[in-house]
Amino acid sequence: MSTEPEAASEKTPALTLLSEEEELFRGTVREFAENEVGPLVSKMDQEARIEPALLEKFFELGLMGIEIPEAYGGAGASFFMAALAVEEVSRVDASLGVCVDVQNTLVNNAMMRWATDEQKKRYLPRLAENTVGAYALSEPDSGSDAFALTCRAVEDGDTYRLTGTKLWITNGAEAGMFIVFATIDPSAGYKGITAFLVEREFEGFTVGKKEDKLGIRASSTTELILEDCVVPKANLLGELGKGYKIAIETLNEGRIGIGAQMVGIASGALDHAMGYTQQRKAFGKSISEFQGVQFQLAQCATELEAARLLVYNASRLRDASQPFLVEAAMAKLFSSQVAERVTSQAVEHYGGYGYSKDFPVEKYWRDAKIGAIYEGTSNLQLQTIAKYLLKDK
């Protein structure tokens, strides 16, 4: 049997009204993902690496600098467009979807909001044209409790020397520039956390072990080792001791991106399931003719559209400079739950074949699990939502 995914059915609804420009953009990304990424999905999953030539094409298409202003070589588009791109790429391969997501919603976003003019001139054109970025906050003992980080930054003349280990860093193997969070004063708690722009070639910086993961296997997840890593003072991002603000506000936007990734995963799995249920025969007819299967598909499609609407709403709020913290938490929470349910249902619709790597849905199922874990676990999203609901009560 072929190890490549069959063509998706494209029958899942997408009821949200898009502008003509947004619809054209969605179609372009979808066509690119299906034609260029699709044939390589199984190979990349097996080899646990992104095809380098694909990354070059992502840059050529402008998908790695969607919000970066045209003056710096980017597309100068909206955050909503970035979410659309993440969704459509993830519909075919979530590994490349998260690569696009981290580049746009975390790295580029942080640079545009907190970088100096000189830093923007130096780094934004590279991030738009050929340089993958990574966001280095997590550590071996600092995950959900992100501000328990111990990576230390010590002033040394016109430089800082960073020492510590970062873990679970997406894009670590491909990145040429890293936003690294370290503390300048451990006794100050979160008020000592500071962000630095670290280039891969800086003295004392090493990309360490690459994790062997359950899902999104082609996406590199690595450790970073900093041993007296020399970082020029000119590469301080934002203000000293204000790194916590950069981390919190950027991750709020990043969670919308993860929501878009989960919507893409669920959409791809449901497209395949709907196509297969019309092909698979049982008791003399396709299983899609059984009411039980029809109801399952209808339930999946309804939950998927609800998740999509949450993600789109949070994206629109962000573009309108309106508060979106709770909406982002809801979008990430619900979309990750929906992705797990829909992909699991898709596996069951395929029967025994759904458990085989010869068919695509088992990969969607594996890829979906990470949504409840990274960029803020589901419990942290629930905590954020609950705090808002109970505020001033």
Q: Please name which of 266, 253, 248, 335 lies closest in space to residue 82, comparing C-alpha atoms.
A: 253
Q: Identify whether 375 is a catalytic site residue.
A: yes
State the Cα–Cα distance between residues 380 and 257, nearest whole angstrom: 16
Catalytic, out of 88, 139, 223, 375: 375
Longest dimension (CA), the chain: 79
Question: Rounded to 5 degrees, what are φ and ψ at 372?
Answer: -85, 0
Which residues 6+ apart lie within 8 Å of 278 measured at CB?
Answer: 9, 286, 288
In angstroms, the CA 306 to CA 315 distance is: 14
Q: Measure the CA angle with vertex 196, ends 192 and 202; round to 5°.
A: 135
Residue with tokens 């997501």: 101
- In this structure, the number of other CB atoms found within 10 A of the CB of residue 386 comes to 12
How many CB atoms lie under 10 A from the CB of residue 274? 21
Q: How far apart are the first and last CA of the chain?
A: 59
Tally of CB atoms within 10 A around 337: 18
β-strands 285-286, 281-282 pairing: antiparallel
Phi-psi region of 60 (alpha: psi -120 to 50; beta: other; left: phi over 0): alpha
Find all residues with CB under 8 Å of 300, minimum gap 6, and list them. Answer: 266, 270, 273, 341, 342, 345, 346
CA nearest neighbour of 10 among 122, 91, 107 = 91
Task: Characterize 155-189 residue by residue with b for buried, 16 or more Cβ atoms within 10 angstroms of its Cβ, and e for exposed.
Answer: eeeebbbbbbbbbbbbbbbbbbbbbbbbbbeeeee
Catalytic residues: 375
